[in-house]
Amino acid sequence: MVTLNKKMKQLREQINNKTVLAKSFLEDGENKDVDKAAQLLDEVDALEKEYDAEKRLFEREQEEAKKRSGEQIDKKAEKDVTEKFASTIRGMVRKDGTVTPMSEGVNADGGYTVPEDIRTEIEHFKEAEFSFENYISTENVTTNKGRRTFQTKASCTGFTDLEEGGEVPNIAAPTYLPINYNITGKGGFIPVTKDLLADSSANIRAEIVRWFGRQRVATINNRVLSKLTTGVTPVAITDLKGLKKLINVTVGSAYDSKIYTNDDGMNWLDSLEDSQHRPLLNPVPSDPKKMQVCIGGKVREVVAVPNSVWASTAGANSSTVIPFVVGELTEAIKMFDRQQLEIAVSDTAAVDGFNAFAQNGALIRGIIRNDFVKQDADAYKYATVTVTA
């Protein structure tokens, strides 16, 4: 509803009266007078302009009045706050005259008012990732046990000369040996409450699946390293010549050998130089992330295994024993894979004191089924380099 002052009401009344009178002079009859009607309408236009000016002035006065009222309210509020602040300060002063300041370090003294930057999205630290699965042989099988047959290695001496009419001599026949595999299951489970699954803003299921995947890779790495090193006496080498002999002579030209070592071994190789002080370890031109060294007229790839996967060991007198494997791992180790990774979820199972049904939770289980066999022991050699402190 529009508020009118006294003069605005008077002007509006005059406008209405003159408008009605002008309308009457335009009606057909003996009182019809167009000139008078036009004169009255001109007067109405003038009154309308005066009314608009009065309205603008009235509204300006109202705005100024509101502003003055607001300033008074603000001054009163400021006064109230000042009095409250002074009261608070008086309350903070101990009897001995010392003052207890408000601070964010104490929740009751203001800490509750300080916002925290909390992000619930799960982030991951950067870690070195490596899997021996990329370097060994893998065969998918459909049974839990099996056998592969290989011809035994033997040196062929060739045929002998025959005399005309003479007897053909007996020669050694090939022999064979079996390579057996026996699939075993490996796995683990993680108990999770359904409240966490429902309330967490992070995808807990996806995180657990990712964690199981890393566990699978770690299992493969552990089993491959165990097959390569357990029960094997390492060859001690001291320089690149020893490494060359392992590749060129001990393992031999039958295999397309690579060099496998950890971060410490990469650092040792990276310190080797030729007579012209040029590094012997160089990046692969087509893939600078990979390294290579020239041995036996061939460029040999050097595979870096993180120390966290394949650690060096402590030697005598504070020395470090660095592991090396040279050879062709696709011939040396084979994984018979029956089941890569099965993930199952149950809300009714009970394991190790955790009853998923009774405790409104879930058990998430991951299982792999495989076996690792040493297929060809001649395809690699295990060596160590001892570096003094």
pLDDT confidence of residue 93: 57
Domain range annotation of the chain? 6-66, 184-387
pLDDT confidence of residue 119: 65
Confidence bin at 128 (pLDDT 50/70/90) = confident
CA 322, 315, 135 angle in degrees (round to 5)?
20
Q: What is the pLDDT of residues 19-37, one digit of tens each?
A: 877 887 787 776 778 888 8
User: Residue length, the chain?
Assistant: 389
Above pLDDT 90, what percent of the chain?
Answer: 37
Alpha helices in 240-360 (DSSP H): 240-245, 263-270, 329-332
Instruction: Determine if the pTM surpasses 0.75.
Output: no
SS3 call for 150:
strand
Q: Does position 303 have pLDDT exceeding 90, yes or no?
A: yes
Q: Cα torsion at 285, 288, 291, 296 (round to 10°)?
A: 0
